[in-house]
Every structure is written in structure tokens, then in C-alpha cells.
Structure 1
Amino acid sequence: MAWLILVISGAMETAWAIALEKSEGFSKPMPTTIFVLTLVLSMAGLGYALKFIPVGTAYAVWVGIGAVGTAAVGMIWLGESSSAARIVCLSLVVAGVVGLKVFH
């Protein structure tokens, strides 16, 4: 259960990062509200997961999911570069996250 919560928390990290960008410096109320809500949910889930998963592993997995998710959203929906080099680098992050789970 802790791993599932951690994955969801990583997805919430992606959501708050995108909402933060869309809030335009907290000047837009809806993206700002989404940012705050998803930030709280992400931190709460990470906090829960830390009861069962070592901090180094949990934090690295959480950040990895958030980073890859945010980069993917940027490439797919926000028109950011999706070069082969970026995709290879993101694949390496995914491999690291999977490795942390496998060798936990």
C-alpha cells in the first residue's frame, strides 16, 4: 500500500508542478488552488510512505516520478522539446526508479 501511495504522490508532484507554471506567479486563482491542493496531497502521501519505506528510496522514487511526469506532460501537451536525447535521459530516470523498487 505504501508503494501505491508513493506513486500517486509522485503523480501529484507532477500535477502541482504544472499547476504552479499555469498559475503565472500565483496570479490565477484556479491553477493556484490546484497547486495548493495537489502539493498538500503529494506531501501527505510522501509522509505516509516514509512510515514504511526508507527516506532515501522513497524520496528518490517520489522525485523521479514527479520529474519524469512533469517532463512528459511538457513534451506531450505543452510543446516542449521531445528530442531523442531527452527521452533517453528520462528513460534512465525511470530505470533508476524501477531499480530502487526492485532492490528495496
Structure 2
Amino acid sequence: MAWLYLFLAGLLEIVWATAMKQSAGFTRIWPTGIMVVGMIASFWLLAVAMRTLPLGTSYTVWVGIGAVGAFLVGIVLFGEPATATRLLAAGLIVAGIVTMKLAS
């Protein structure tokens, strides 16, 4: 169950990072509110997952899901470049997440 909480926490990290982008420097109320709620929920789920999973594993996987997810949202929603180098870097992050899961 801890891995499910951690995965959901990572997905919520993507939500709050995207909402932060949409908040235009906290000048738009709805994206700012979504960001705050997403952050609180993400941190709470991460904390629950850490009751069982090691700190290093939990934090690495959480950040990795959020980073790769935000990267993909940037490409799909905001037209950010999907260069070979950026895709390779994201692939290496995913490989790290998988390795951390296998090592736990």
C-alpha cells in the first residue's frame, strides 16, 4: 500500500507543479488554490508512504515521478521541446526510479 501512496503523491506533485505554472506567479486564484491543495495532499501521501518505505527511496521516487511527469506535461501542454537529450535525461530518471524500486 505504501507504494500506491507514493505513486499518488508523485502524481499530485505533477498536478501542483502544473498549477504553479498556471498560477502566473500566484496572481490567478484557482490555479494557486489547486497548487496549495495539491502540495498538501502530495506531502501527506509522501509522509504516509514514509511510514513503511525508506526515506531515500521514498523521496527519490517521489521527486522522479514529479520531475518526469512535469517534463511530459511541459511537452504536451506547453509545447516545450522534446529533444533527444531531454528525452534521454528523462529516461535516465525513469531508470533510476525503477532501480530504486527493485532495490527496496
TM-score band, normalised by shorter chain = over 0.9
What is the aligned-residue RMSD (CA, Å)?
0.6
Distance 2:63 2:56 in 1: 11
In the other structure, the counterpart of 1:23 is 23
Aligned equivalents of 1:69 and 1:11: distance in 2? 7
> Structure 2: which amino acid aligns with 1:35?
M
The unaligned stretches of length 5 or more in structure 1 are none
Structure 2 Cα separation of the partners of residues 34 and 58 of structure 1: 23
Q: Which runs of 5+ in 2 are unaligned?
A: none
What's the counterpart of residue 93 of structure 2? Answer: 93
Q: Which residue of 1 aligns with 2:39?
A: 39
TM-score of the aligned structures, taking structure 2 as reference length: 0.98
In 1, distance between residues paired with 2:89 and 2:27? 33
Give aligned pairs, total: 104
- What is the percent sequence identity of the aligned residues? 43
Q: Which 4+ residue blocks in structure 1 deviate beyond 6 angstroms?
A: none
Alignment match, 1:10: 10
**Distance of 1:37 and 1:86 partners within structure 2:** 30
